Chains A and B, each alone.
Chain A
Amino acid sequence: MDLTYTPQQQAFREEVRAWLEAHVPAQPLEHYDATREGFEAHRAWEKTLQSGDWGMVTWPKEYGGRGLDLIQWLIFEEEYARAGAPGRVGQNGIFLLGPTLIEFGSHEQKQRFLPPMASGEEIWAQAWSEPQAGSDLAGVRATCAADGDDYILNGHKIWSSRAVFADWAFGLFRTPGTERHKGMSLIFFPLTAPGVTVNPIRKINGHVGFAEIFLEDVRVPAFNRLGDEGQGWHICMATAGFERGLMLRSPARYQVAAAKLADLWQTRRETADPMLEADVIRAHMNAEAYALSIYQTASRLMAGARIGPEASTNKIFWSEMDIHLHQTALSILGTEAELIPPPGGHDWLDDYIFSLAGPIYAGSNEIQRNIIAERMLGLPR
């Protein structure tokens, strides 16, 4: 147990900080889910980031990364959040598919897909859910029929974040005639392929951040299948571990938000409800507990452990913490909370609305509680 950074880790932090200070755009970019321009501005930022080799620092060098360890990853994320750098438009690819590809992909697949993913040249969306397969993901009906060296994809996917403007999607399909968990495969398809129709869906914040995707006889090479045919469910569960766990939701953003909340409280405490101070302190405690937990998990993973059901406890914790933190901010803002645009240009309202998605996506918190009860505690199904 040694909770101090090594001189090398400190030097790494300085290096990240200096690069970000020199490169992070001075003006915030338009949101990537709001307009094509906003999306492309974020893509341009991803290219800038990768020009400094910062696109995905934990990936092996040969696939566009730096081969860094998880502690360095956390330091990078801390500095990234601290610098107020743009949100990662490629997050579904870099944080979810990327690690899954590294674990299950062939060398040729990694070579083909990872470098353009790290540079933002190809931005990915996830195509798992269907109108009849949400929490019950094993109910997926979209099919992949083998045809020579190709697959013919058919089906209807929904709630695909970023799919409106993204280039590629990784989808869950089943071999015709199979049922439930068996017979599923994870297959990549270009969102511009013939037979693909993408219809934007407006979110409660008015953005078109997610979409439904119709696939009609979409032909893709078998090369686009990750892992073996029929291994899709197993691979998806690994991806979901990344999604719920430390990759997608690194702690730094909550610590930035908790620090901002403490500042907001200090400027408003004279007029705000004094009861809210306990919530401000609680928001800080939550963010810090989450950070400590992730450092502990990272240390364990570096010592050879594998991520387990703690991905589910993480997901519940960060999603509930995020809502509590932003609700506290809105309570401090009081009658100003509802105003658009917000006076002074704060993000509390937008981020609050976004936080409400947390308990739903990446497997609803109800499903996560089932997983904890069954796999951690051993309760019967």
Chain B
Amino acid sequence: MDFTLNEEQLMFAETARTLFADSCTPDHWRRMMEAGTARDDARWASIVETGLTLVLLPESAGGIGLTETDFALITQEAGYVALPEPLVESAGVAAPMLAALAPDHVVLSDPLATIAIAHPANPYIANADSAAAILLERDGEAYLATPDQVTLTAQASIDPFRRLFSIEWNVENATPLGKADWDLALDRAALFNAAMGLGLAQRAVDLAVDYAKERQQFGKPIGSYQAVKHHLASAQVAIEFAKPVVAAAAAEIGHRDVQSRARISHAKLVALEAADKAARTSIQVHGAMGYSWEVDVHLFLKRALALTQTWGTPAYHRARIAARLFTQPMGPDQTFARESDNA
């Protein structure tokens, strides 16, 4: 039993943090929003160059074959900067799925290419227009198509960097790839979005803390008042008790049992609840400024709002937790128990 991260994992996360801090500031987003773009090619190239998109790909598909724990740490950092590019969907979900089905596929040989995924859990596909290919599902089988082989209809999201599309497509125009593991795709997406939620939440708190130290009212920084302190402390508590759930969910995802699915669902629920709570708290602490377009907090709120409902609604994830709670033995000796041990 060892619930700590190793040096390499911490270093990789640090690398991602530095890269994102330099290349994904609020100024960067604002330029993208004005230009109406959702992808910064230079930033994506540096993400690819650093190897962040290769973490989950097996070595046979040109990847570095690390674990979900490693990738979750990276997506947490991506959340901290509300990264516009589809790192989770492409590098965390779609590329590993394609690599499992067709490790030599040509799309995988282009490191800059992103892959979108039309998962049955989601009515809309994120960032499908800029993808080199889209993974599609019919009767459990996976298919691959390019954006021009399908009909995409844009559905604007309140998050300007989530370009959503509904899709119509014909099996004849897509390449069949065989039976795919859609459950694993959902588990990974839920996990990585949970990790992203931790980053969104912490940034929202940090922005509010910075503001509360500076902003003066009644002759004192507003952060010296208990009402403000307690709001922020409550948000931080929510973050602190989502973190270990996300970490455990990442470590256990490979078990593929009722416990690992419940843990992932738990992680997604509480991490995005923490993000929502932190973002709303941050807006409140910023006062009228927090309700303005000019202050950056709203993007974190909007991303949290979107991620809360995608890749399984809260009701879906609660039901997966209930499945464990009401069918498995429960109690203090069951924290790390497995379905196979209890069978």
Contact = CB atoms under 8 A, between A and B. Distances in A.
A379 B213 contact: yes
A289 B336 contact: no
Interface stretch (B38-46, B77-85, B146-154, B243-251): B243-251
A57 B224 CA distance: 43
Contacts of A6: 1
Contact of B325 (A284, A370, A381): A284
B335 interface: yes
Q: Mostly helix, strand, loop or mixed at chain A's interface? A: helix
Q: Which 8 A-B pairs have the closest CB atoms?
A: A373-B229, A252-B332, A78-B332, A369-B233, A299-B3, A259-B330, A372-B233, A292-B244
Q: Mostly helix, strand, loop or mixed at chain B's interface? A: helix
Interface string A313-330: 100110000000000000
Contacts of A374: 229
A325 to B, nearest CB: 13
Interface string A255-280: 11011001000100000000001101
Contacts of A22: none
Interface stretch (B23-31, B91-99, B234-242): B234-242
A299 B4 contact: yes
Contacts of A251: 332
B4 A1 contact: yes
Contacts of B9: 1
Interface in A339-381: 366, 368-370, 372-374, 376-381
B247 A1 contact: yes
Nearest to A251: B332
Given A288-B335, A291-B335, A303-B4, A258 B236 contact: no
Contact of A3 (B229, B248, B269): B248
B205 interface: yes
Given A13-B333, A252-B332, A310 B240 contact: yes
Interface in B226-270: 226, 228-230, 232-234, 236-237, 240-245, 247-248, 251-252, 266, 269-270
Contacts of A45: none
Name the residue in A278, A291, A310, A372 with the highest tally of chain B Cβ atoms < 10 Å from its Cβ.
Answer: A372
Given A82-B332, A296-B3, A299-B4, 15 more contacts: A1-B4, A1-B5, A1-B251, A2-B251, A3-B3, A13-B333, A82-B331, A285-B270, A291-B335, A293-B241, A296-B243, A376-B236, A377-B209, A380-B223, A380-B224
B245 A380 contact: no
B299 to A, nearest CB: 21
Nearest to A75: B333
8 contacts: A3-B252, A13-B333, A295-B244, A369-B229, A370-B233, A377-B233, A379-B209, A380-B224
A377 B232 contact: yes
Interface in B84-132: none
B140 interface: no
B321 A380 contact: no
Interface in B152-182: none
A378 B214 CA distance: 12
Contacts of B302: none
A4 B260 CA distance: 13
A379 B241 contact: no
Contacts of B244: 289, 292-293, 295-296
